[in-house]
Each structure stands twice: as C-alpha cells, then as structure tokens.
Amino acid sequence: MINKQSVNQKVAIVPTESDGNLLNNKLLARFIRSKWYPALFQWLTASAFIIIMYQLLVGPSKAHDNLGTALTWVLWWPLIPIIFLLLGRFWCAICPFATLSDLVQKFVGNNRPMPKFLKKYGIWIIDAIFILITWSDHVFGIVESPWGSGVLMLGLTTGVVVSGAFWERRTWCRTLCFLGGLSGNYARTGMLALRGTPEKCSKCTIAACYQGTVNAPGCPLFEFPKTMESNANCNVCGHCVKNCPNDSIRLTLRFPTKELWTMRKPKIEGAFLSVVIMGIVFVQNITMLEVWQSILSWLENVTGTQSYYVTFTITFFVAMIIPVLLLALAAWIAKKLNGDSLLQNFAKFGYAIIPLDIAAHIGHNLFHMLAEGKSVVYTAMALFGKNVEGLSPALLDSGSIQILQYILIVLGVAGSIYTAYRISKHNYGQGNVVLKFAPYAVLMLLLMVVNIALFMLPMAMRM
Amino acid sequence: MKPITWKTILFCSIMLVLLSGGSGKAFADGGHNENVKEVDGYVIELSFETQPIQPGGNRLLIHLHDAMDHPISTALVSANLVEGSLDHAEEVVESDYPSAEAVLSEMNTDSHSSDEAGVHHEIEANNHSSEDTGHHDESIEIVLAKGAEAGEYLGELTIPYPGDWLIGVQFTVEGAVKEITFPVHVTQSGSRWWVLGSFLMVNMVVIGAAGVLRKRHV
C-alpha cells in the first residue's frame, strides 16, 4: 500500500482536455471516487442474492412458483449479456459472489499469490467449467429446479470462499468463474472502455492503480491500466480512478466490437471460448424446442438406450463440436489465402464470432424474459399471499419476440462479419482483404441461418 | 500476531446465521395427511410404508373395507398423483384421469400379481421420467397389487418433488367405479440436510483454516 502523503504529492497533475472522457463529468467522477461506488450497487445485489438463495433453497419446490428461479433465470440471465455489451464487465464489480470474496478476504484472507497453474490455464479451466455447468444443467435440470439452482449457487459460493480465503484479489473472478470468462469475452465488444492516459502513465513510477492506496485496494482483476489494451479484465470498479494521483484514468465510450479489430495477442483459448459459446447457444435452443423430444426418441433408437445421460451427452458434444469444426474449416481455407497458420487463423478470427454470440445469447434469453417476464412479479406477489392464477406471464406476444430475435441475429452477424473484415484489414493490409476474410463471412452467414432456423421453431418455457 | 477482533467474530457469526438460516423451515414437516376416507359406504385407508413422505419412490398401502368393516379383496384399485391442494381435487380427478378399469384395460391382464413385494405399473404421461430429463411429468398413474392381508393393496408411487399433492384412488367393486382423493404433503428429502450441512461445514472449515493460517503468517 502507498501512503496518503505520496498520493497527495502527485495530485497536482490534472487533465487539460475534454476528449470524450466520461470522468470529465464532475458528478459522475465524484460518485466513482466516493465510497458509495460500487458499494451501493454491491449491497443491492447482495441483498437480492440473499433473497434468491433463500427462495431457491427453502422456497417453493416448483420453478413456476419460485421467485429465486424467476429472478435468476428469467430476469438476471437475460439481462447479463446486455449489461456486458453496454457496460463491459461492470456486473463483475457488483456481483454478490465477488462481494462475498472481498468480505472473506478482508477478515480471514491469506492473500497468497495466484497459483501459477491458474495463471497459465485459467481460461481453459473456465472453458471446461462453463461446458460442465451447461451439461449439468441439462442432465440434472438445474434451471428447472430451484433446489438444483440453489446447489449450483452453493457450489460457486464454496469456490469463492476458498479463493477469497487463500488467494489475493479476485483470483476466482479472473481465473475460475465461468461467468467471468463469458463476461471477459463479451466485454471486448462492450461500449465502455477504461484506460490510462499514456502521457501521464509513462511518467508514473508508483503504480498506485495496481498496488492500491489508502483510498482503495489495487486492481482486483490484476490489471495495470498503464499497459491495458483490453476491457476483458476490467470490471470498472473504479479503484484505479480512486487511487491514481495523476487523474490518468479515462472512461470513454467506444464503438461496439472495436476492441476486437486490433487485438495484438489473440489467444486460442479465448477464441475457443467464443466458438464454444455458439455451441452452447445451439444446445440451449435445441433442448427448448418442441422438436427436441423427437430428436431424443431418434437418438434412443439409434443408440439403443433410453438413458438421457447418453443421448443428451451425444447431442451436447455434437452441438459443441459443430461450430468448432466450422471455424477450423474456415481457418483452414483462409490460411491458403492469408498465409497464416490454421491456429493463428483460428485464434485471430474466433473472436469475430463474439458479436454473434452475444446476439444469439440475448435472442435466446429474450424469449424467456419477454414470454415469462411477468412471472417475476407473480412469484414476488405470491410471497405476500397474493396468488395469481391463470394469467399469462408474457410481456410480449411470441410473434413480436421472434421478430426481435431475427433483428438481433442480423445485427450480430453484421457485427461479426464487420469484425472479421476489420481483423483481416488490420492483419493483412489493404490488398485482397475481402478475399482473405471471405471464408469467415461465409461461416457467419451459415451460423446466422442456423440461429434463425432455431428461432423459427416453437420454444418451451423455463418457468 | 494480529488478535481476533470483534469484527472477525461478528463476521463469522453473520456468516453462520446466513448460511444456516432458514434450514429449519426447509425441512420442517408442515404436512398433515388425512388418511381415512369414506365413499358410498366403503372405507378407504391410505398409508405409506415410510414417513414422512419424500420425493422419489414411496410404498403406498391402501386398505379397503365395507361399512361393516369387512375387508374387500376383489376390487381393482388404481391411484394417480397430481400436484395441488384439496380445493381443486374434484375437478382434477374427474376431468383428467381415467378410472381403474380404463387404466387396466390398457395393460396386460396377466400383469396383476399377488406377490407380496407388490408389482407396480406406472403409466407416464410423458415419454421421459423426471429422473431422466430433469423435467416434471404431469401425472403418474399406478395400478395397485393385492397385498398379503385381505383388503390390502400395494404399489409404489414416484413423487417427483416436494409440495402438496393429491392422490386419487379409484376402485372398482362389483362393477361400480368409486373415486376418492387424498391430499398429501411431501417434505424435502433428508439428503438436503447433508448438502446444506456439508456446505456449511466445508465453508466454516475453510474460513477457520484461513483465519488460523493468516494469524501464523502475520
């Protein structure tokens, strides 16, 4: 920690220009520098989390009647990708699990360095956990079962407590949380960017943003704004804003997907997560379609077993592997055109799928939010003895929801194709850029067709 | 060495309360199960081999007597399970479920057994059971087998999840079909104690160990 005196000595440097920095707004800057940010939001979400956990574990056994299920899977889960798109990883700053981690750390934390294996394989671990949770959800019916959802939360809570008790900062959020991995990827397309001002940071020798001061702890996600190029691991918690003695931190709005255009070190595991998310969206959609039972019956006949574990696992594997193979195929074709290796192509252009991921993710969950949204109100009313019978939980009719889903997918594909184009332009210059990214454009169009086809079929409710 | 402050004690206490809070309610048996009813002079007594009734397979016993308390051993007895409270019992039973005869007609006639183990037959409304898919079925219908005692009928009823349920009992005596509904309350499975208990214990051990290690470290 750096003492207050050394911080105050540096305060003289002030920003001199208005350059789209949201922190130039005095009210916002004052709020972010105050003790109320992000504490105010943290306590709100922590309170909601306690209600949700109580409902999931001891509330009505049926998802249809459970406020915890409604708040988690009908309201929060559909909103989360929208939050990532608008505000980057802001959710991670106010996530109740992170608050719990901070509390545990404050009182009993050992603050040991993040283990090397987590540092090295963090994203792969996240990939694996994400796939495992999605598989478990379908096999054990986690979303449909309040108790199942509660047990999932208890498992996550235990992981958070262990991480907070022994390791420094938010090791859990950075290297283990499946939602953290998802949010990291989605935040790359986010409209909010936090960075240091290079001219100021270059003269800085105290690194208060990373180390922490009496004003606030250091960056919880191990980021150093001076060298930060991505918002994947910035949760906009405001600690660096509070700590920086040079007013170097800038918070700006940017064009969605912009960060993806010029990534210097695309990672294969990050690209893999992007494409796996598309597979997960496929699985989520397929299993909620009314045609799913027919697919299951067919699989039962083919495999000769009625075990859902077997039939679903096959479906899950196929749905996961199809987008991965398609991207690999596109990368294989593209390598002949752009000269990069297959893996380089996979890593560079895998990120271009993220806009479509977000669109498909929002599109799928939009159905739940808009077709079942009122269940949040109904289940909340039931807590006070006001039972609502026979009323539709829908906020919008299914036809209108479908149109919104199609619009989202088209926007997502446009975003993905444009991103692939920009990546191609950034990497291969002006000549033959269109040809070099053409295989990816075809891939995005194909994924668009699959997504639209899935949205055209009737879908089952969550509640 | 950093002493344990009142804040640490308060934190641990709050964690303990939060982590264990509500578990009493979760496992409280709020159910009162009426188990003897009469219809047209016939007395039907419904009981379960084990109490409290929990989600999963439950051995169902029905004793059938006439008004003179003579056991009736020649009846065809079936039972169905539907979620709900007694307020809606009549409409549910009358509208949604077939009689014992209708159920039996769908099954092989040689499927009845007087085996004391109680062979049961479930007709599921959907193709996949709740255990397979994680989704809940709409109804479960079973035909009961004759038990060892006169007037006793046995079967195993699978109850998907806790809550208020209605067990509709249909029996056919001398060609006449009778129906009666019993409300039952199904409590949470005892295994949940283990899950919550383990969660509580593991987290307390982790927090305790971290506290001790931190003191040593400091």
pLDDT tens across A35-89, in order?
999 999 999 999 999 999 999 998 887 788 899 999 999 999 999 999 999 999 9
Query: Per the CB < 8 Å rule, is B136 touching A158?
Result: no
Q: What is the mean pLDDT of chain A?
A: 89
Percent of the residues in chain A that have a pLDDT greater than 70, as a whole number: 95
State the average pLDDT over residues B143-168: 84
pLDDT tens across B10-63, in order?
666 665 555 444 443 333 333 334 588 888 888 898 888 776 777 777 788 899
> Using beta carbons and an 8 Å cutoff, which residues of A are at the interface with B?
50, 54, 57-58, 60-62, 103-104, 107-110, 138-142, 144-145, 147-148, 151, 154, 157-158, 161-162, 165-166, 293, 296-297, 306-308
pLDDT tens across B55-113, in order?
777 788 899 988 888 889 889 999 988 887 665 544 444 434 444 444 444 444 433 33
Judge residue A17's burial from the number of C-beta atoms within 10 Å of its C-beta, 0-12 exposed, 13-18 middle, 19 or more buried: exposed
More confident position, B119 or A453 = A453
Q: From A366, A461, A346, A369, select the one nearest A412 (Cα to Cα).
A: A366
Q: Which long-range contacts (CB under 8 A, 24 or more apart) does B51-56 make?
A: B52/B186, B52/B187, B53/B159, B53/B184, B53/B185, B53/B186, B53/B187, B54/B159, B54/B162, B54/B186, B54/B187, B54/B188, B54/B189, B54/B190, B55/B159, B55/B160, B55/B161, B55/B162, B55/B186, B55/B188, B55/B189, B56/B158, B56/B159, B56/B189
- Confidence class for position B119, pLDDT limits 50, 70, 90: very low
Chain B residues lying within 8 Å of A105, measured CB to CB: none
Chain B residues lying within 8 Å of A140, measured CB to CB: 134
Can you give the pLDDT at residue B154?
87
- CB neighbours of residue A175 within 10 Å: 25
Q: How far apart are CA B185 and CA A114, in angstroms?
A: 49
Range from A21-25, A94-98, A413-417, B146-150 carrying the lowest mean pLDDT: B146-150
- Confidence class for position A291, pLDDT limits 50, 70, 90: confident
Tokens of B195: 């899950």
Query: Do residues A234 and A194 touch, judged by C-beta distance below 8 A?
Result: yes
pLDDT tens across A170-209, in order?
999 999 998 988 899 899 999 999 999 999 999 999 999 9
Q: From B161, B155, B158, B156, select the one nearest B185 (Cα to Cα).
A: B161
Judge residue A194's burial from the number of C-beta atoms within 10 Å of its C-beta, 0-12 exposed, 13-18 middle, 19 or more buried: buried
pLDDT tens across B129-151, in order?
333 333 344 567 888 888 878 89
Tokens of B76: 């065809």
For residue A279, give the amino acid letter: G
Query: Do residues A334 and A259 touch, judged by C-beta distance below 8 A?
Result: no
Can you give the pLDDT at residue B69?
83
Query: Do residues B155 and B147 touch, judged by C-beta distance below 8 A?
Result: no
Tokens of A103: 């509390």
Q: Name the most confidently modeled range: A108-117, B88-97, B158-167, B207-216.
A: A108-117
DSSP B74: S
Query: Per the CB < 8 Å rule, is B134 touching A154?
Result: no
E-strand ranges in A171-240 read: 192-195
Say which of B134, B161, B210 has its CB closest to residue A109. B210
Range from A326-335, A360-369, B201-210 carrying the lowest mean pLDDT: A360-369
The answer for B 40-99 residues in CB contact with A (under 8 A) is 83
More confident position, A287 or A69 = A69
Query: Do residues A383 and A308 touch, judged by C-beta distance below 8 A?
Result: no
pTM: 0.73
Query: Per the CB < 8 Å rule, is B161 touching A145?
Result: yes
Query: Per the CB < 8 Å rule, is A50 touching B207?
Result: no
Can you give the pLDDT at residue A91?
96
Q: How far apart are CA A451 and CA A408, in angstroms?
A: 10
Tokens of B83: 């979620």
